[in-house]
Amino acid sequence: MTEASYLGSGPGLVRHHHLKRRRPHYLHLMLICLFLSCIPLLSFSCRLVFRLADDSDRSVLVKYGCVTITRIMNNAGSAEESPGKIYHVCQRNSSHISSKHIVALSKTDYRIREVFFDAKSVRSTRLTFNDPEYVHQSIYSGGPDDGEGETGYSHNLYKLWERGIIGSGVVVAVVDDGVDRYHDDLKDNYDPVASYNFVRDTDDPNTVTEVHGTKCIGLISSVANNGICGVGAAFGAKFGAIRILSSEVAEIFDSIEAQAFRFQPNYISIYSMSWGPVDDGKKVARPHALASAALEEGARHGRNGRGSIYVWSSGNGGRNFDFCGLDGYLQRYEVFVVGSTTREGEMPSYAERCTAVIACSLSNSDGLPESKIFTTLPPSQCAKNHTGTSVSAPIVSAILALLLQVRDDLDRRDIQDLLIRTSLQIDKYPIVNSAGLKYSLNFGYGLVQADKLVEAATSNDFKPLPQLRICRTPIFEDGQHIHNGGQIHSSIYSSGCLRQPSVLDTVEVVILTLTLESTSRGGSTVSLISPDGTEVPILEPRLLDTSDEGLDAWDIKVMTYYGEKAYGLWRLKIDVSKGVNAKLVRWGLRVYGSQYSNDATHHYEAVKEIMCDDKVYERDPDIRSWCAGTYKKEVRSSDPSVDNLSFKDSKFVFGQNLMPLNVNYVGIALVSIFGIFSVIIIIYAYFRFGISRPFTSYRLIKN
C-alpha cells in the first residue's frame, strides 16, 4: 500500500482524521465514568443538629440532605414541649454539599434557629470487677472504703488498668513463708517455674499453716473478674513463691538466702521481701557474704543483664523507736526500700524511717480496724487483715510489674530514676536537695504514682541514664573521741575520681562506711553534709539500744543526694548524748552516679580550687605536688574505683571546727579544793613540827 492510497484524498482523509481524534474522547469518557462511580465515596457524610423555630417545619431538613432525622427534646422529661426547644439530629449520607456549606446556608433560613455539628468524643468502656470484695480495696485507686469517707491519696492504678496495663507477661516472686497455691483467687496466676520451697527442699512452696506469704501475694496477683475475693494490683502478672521462712525454724542459712535472691534470675523480674531482722529497736544485723554477693550479682546480671529488681519493706519497729538505717539488708545498694503511709498522708506509728527509703505505698492507719488491707488468706479465704509495711513491698512490686509490661527494656537504675522523679512527695517538711528534689526520711521521694511512672517511661522525653560509675574514697582512720556527750566533726574530700575511669560528677546513691565505738550504741545522731551543703541525719537515736558493741564497718545508704554534685567536701557530724562516750574510729564513702558533663576542664578547675587552698595542700605533699603540676604518683590504690586524690581534711578535723571535749567542772573543783587543802596541811605540819624541834634523820641510835 502506497502512502497516497493509505492517506487517500477527500472523504478518506477525513475518515482517517476522525479515527485519530476519537481516542481521546474514549479516554475522557472512561475517566468520567470512573469519577461518577466514585461520587458516593466523596459524599459528605456527617451528623448535624438543627433547632427549628417550629417543630412542624422538620420537613425542611430534607432540603439539606438529611436521610434520617431523630427528634431530641432539650427539656427532656418536661410535660410541655415549647417551640424552639426541640432538636433534630440529621444523618447525612448522600448529599454532595459539604456540611460547612449547609451550616452557612442555614443561617439565611428563618425556619432554622440554630445548627451545629453533632460532637464526637472518645470514650472507653468502664472497667468493672465482679469480685465481691473489690469495693473494700480503696488502697488501689482511692475510692470509698466501707462508707467511711474517701481516700486522700491513691496510686492511680485504675488509670492503667483501663488501658489494659495489668502486669501481663511479668513474673513477680515473693520471698517469704510460702503460699496457699491452691487458693481459688490465686491458683490461676501461680507460676511453678518461679517457685521453690527451700525449707523442705522441694519444688512445692504450698502451705496453709503459714499465712504471711499468701497475704503478700494476694496484693499482687489475685485474679480479677472470677467472682472471688478481690483483685491484685497487677492481676495480669504471674507470681512465684520462694519459701525460706517457717515458724518451725528460727534461723536461716546464708546460703539459703543467697539461693533465693538468685533463683531463676532471667525468668523472674521482681523479688518482693516483707521481712528482715527483729524490729525490737535493739538488733543490728546485715546479710552475710553469700547473700550480699547474690544481691550484687542479681542487680548486675539478672533479668538478662537489665538487673533484677529487689523491693524491700522498711520495717515495723517504729513503736520500738527502731531506725531502718540499722537494718543491713536495706543498706544494700541493690535494694529498693519502700515505706508506708496512711491514706491521709501520715506516717504510721509502726513504720521505720531512714535515708535508705526511696518511696512509699499506702497501708493501714494506726488503731483503725477498718483501715486494714484486704487480701487473700489460707486456706482459700480472704479477709481485711493485712497491716504494716509488709503491705508496701507487694504493692510497689505490683506497680513495677505494670511498668515492665510496657517497658521491659528498662534497667534497674532507669526504674530507680523514674521512681524518684514521678513519686508524689507527701511530707509537709521535706529536705530539698541542691538538685531541687524533695526527700523525706519517712516517705523517700514520696507516694508511688503508677500512672505517672508509666507516662514518664513511655514519653518521648525519656532518656536512659549514662553508664554507672562508682567512686570510692579510702577508709580513713580518725581516732577522735568524746566523753560524756558532745560533738565529733570530721570530713573527707573527694575529687569524684578525677582523671580516672570511674570519674563522675553527679550523685545517685551514697553509701557511708562507719566504724564507731560507743558505750551506748543508740545514743548518737550521725549526720552527713554533702558538698552542696545538704544535711541529713543518717543515724538517729534508738532509745532501747544501750549496747556497748558500737558499729563495725557499718554501711549506711543515703538516697537524699540524688542529682547533686559528687565532688567536694563531705562532712560528718556526730552528736553524742550526755552520759555517753564515743570514738570515731574510721569512715569512708562510696558514691554511685554518672558523668553527665563532657566538660572535663570545669570539673578539673572546680577540684583544683578546693584542693589547692593554702590550708589544705600544705599538709599533704602529694596534693602540694599535684597543685604545682609535678604530681607523678598517679595511683595510690590498685582499685581503679578508689579516688586517688581524696583525703581526710585535717584542717577541719584538727582546726577551729573541732568541738572541745566536755569538761566535768564539778570534778575539777573538787580536785582543786582537795589539792589546796593538802597544801595547807603540809605547810601547817612543817611549821608546827619542823620549827619546834630539830629536823632529825631516822637512823639507828646506838647506846
* 290 and 426 belong to one structural domain: yes
What is the number of domains present in the chain?
3
For residue 383, tell me if it sits in a domain: yes
* Residue 314 burial by Cβ neighbours in a 10 Å radius (0-12, 13-18, 19+): buried
DSSP code per residue over 574-629: EEEPTT--EEEEEEEEEEEEE-----HHHHHHHHHHHHT-HHHHTT-HHHHHHHTT
- Give yes or no for residue 633 having a pLDDT over 60: no
For residue 406, tell me if it sits in a domain: yes
Helix and strand totals (H; E) in the chain:
15, 25
Q: How far apart are CA 51 and CA 42, in angstroms?
A: 27
**Inter-helix orientation angle 450-457/392-406, to 10°:** 30
DSSP 241: E
Minimum mean pLDDT among 150-159, 179-188, 269-278, 348-357: which range? 150-159
Domain boundary among 568, 596, 624: 596
- Give yes or no for residue 25 having a pLDDT over 90: no
For 455-512, write each residue's pLDDT tens digit: 999 999 999 999 999 999 999 999 999 999 999 999 999 999 988 899 999 999 999 9
Q: Residue 619's pLDDT is what?
A: 58
Q: Could you tell me the maximum CA-CA distance found in the chain, to the nearest angstrom?
A: 193
Beta 469-472 vs 506-518: how paired, if at all? unpaired
* 397 and 427 belong to one structural domain: yes
Q: How far apart are CA 254 and CA 258, in angstroms?
A: 6
Q: Residue 36's pLDDT is what?
A: 46
Beta 196-197 vs 238-243: how paired, if at all? parallel
Cell numbers 551506748: residue:
520
Give Cα separations from 79 to 73, 76, 86, 421 (angstroms).
Answer: 11, 9, 13, 57
Q: How far apart are CA 187 and CA 104, in angstroms?
A: 64
* 301 and 385 belong to one structural domain: yes
Helices (H), 458-491: none
CA 178 to chain centre: 26
Question: What CATH number is given to the structural domain containing 373?
Answer: 3.40.50.200
* Residue 87 burial by Cβ neighbours in a 10 Å radius (0-12, 13-18, 19+): middle
CA 338 to chain centre: 8
Q: pTM score, two decimals? A: 0.76
Q: How far apart are CA 642 and CA 497, in angstroms?
A: 7
For residue 394, tell me if it sits in a domain: yes
* 435 and 546 belong to one structural domain: no
Question: 314: which 3 cell numbers?
Answer: 522498711
* 428 and 474 belong to one structural domain: no
Cell numbers 497475704: residue:
215
Give Cα separations from 441 to 246, 339, 353, 462, 528 (angstroms).
Answer: 31, 9, 5, 27, 14
* 447 and 550 belong to one structural domain: no
Cβ atoms within 10 Å of 158's Cβ, excluding its own: 16
Q: Residue 677's pLDDT is what?
A: 76
Average pLDDT of every residue of the chain: 84
Q: Is residue 82 very low, low, confident or very high in pLDDT (cuts 50, 70, 90)? A: low
Domain boundary among 417, 432, 458: 458
Helix (H, G, I), strand (E, B) or coil at 551: strand
Question: What CATH number is given to the structural domain containing 557?
Answer: 2.60.120.260
What's the order of all strands across the beta sheet hosting 335-341? Answer: 196-197, 238-243, 171-176, 270-273, 309-313, 335-341, 357-362
For residue 691, tell me if it sits in a domain: no
Question: 279: which 3 cell numbers?
Answer: 524490729
Contact in structure between 433 and 532 (CB atoms under 8 Å): yes
Minimum mean pLDDT among 12-21, 263-272, 318-327: which range? 12-21
Mean pLDDT of 417-445: 98
What is the torsional sign of CA 414, 506, 448, 320?
positive
The boundaries of the domain holding residue 95 are: 64-105
Mean pLDDT of 553-578: 97
Q: How far apart are CA 363 and CA 442, in angstroms?
A: 13
Mean pLDDT of 144-155: 57
* 100 and 181 belong to one structural domain: no
* 474 and 399 belong to one structural domain: no
Active-site residue set:
176, 212, 390
* Residue 462 burial by Cβ neighbours in a 10 Å radius (0-12, 13-18, 19+): middle
Q: Rg of the Cα trace of the chain?
A: 40
* 173 and 300 belong to one structural domain: yes
Which amino acid is residue 215, in one-letter code? K
Cell numbers 440529621: residue:
90
- Give yes or no for residue 171 having a pLDDT over 70: yes
Mean pLDDT of 560-565: 98
Domain boundary among 596, 624, 656: 596
Minimum mean pLDDT among 372-376, 444-448, 474-478, 691-695: which range? 691-695
Question: 372: which 3 cell numbers?
Answer: 486494714
Percent of the chain with pLDDT over 90: 59
Cβ atoms within 10 Å of 15's Cβ, excluding its own: 10
Contact in structure between 244 and 256 (CB atoms under 8 Å): yes
Question: 523: which 3 cell numbers?
Answer: 545514743
Minimum mean pLDDT among 181-195, 315-329, 465-479, 611-625: which range? 611-625
* 418 and 296 belong to one structural domain: yes
* 322 and 430 belong to one structural domain: yes
DSSP 208: S
Cell numbers 496510686: residue:
155
Q: Residue 332's pLDDT is what?
A: 98
Q: Residue 35's pLDDT is what?
A: 46
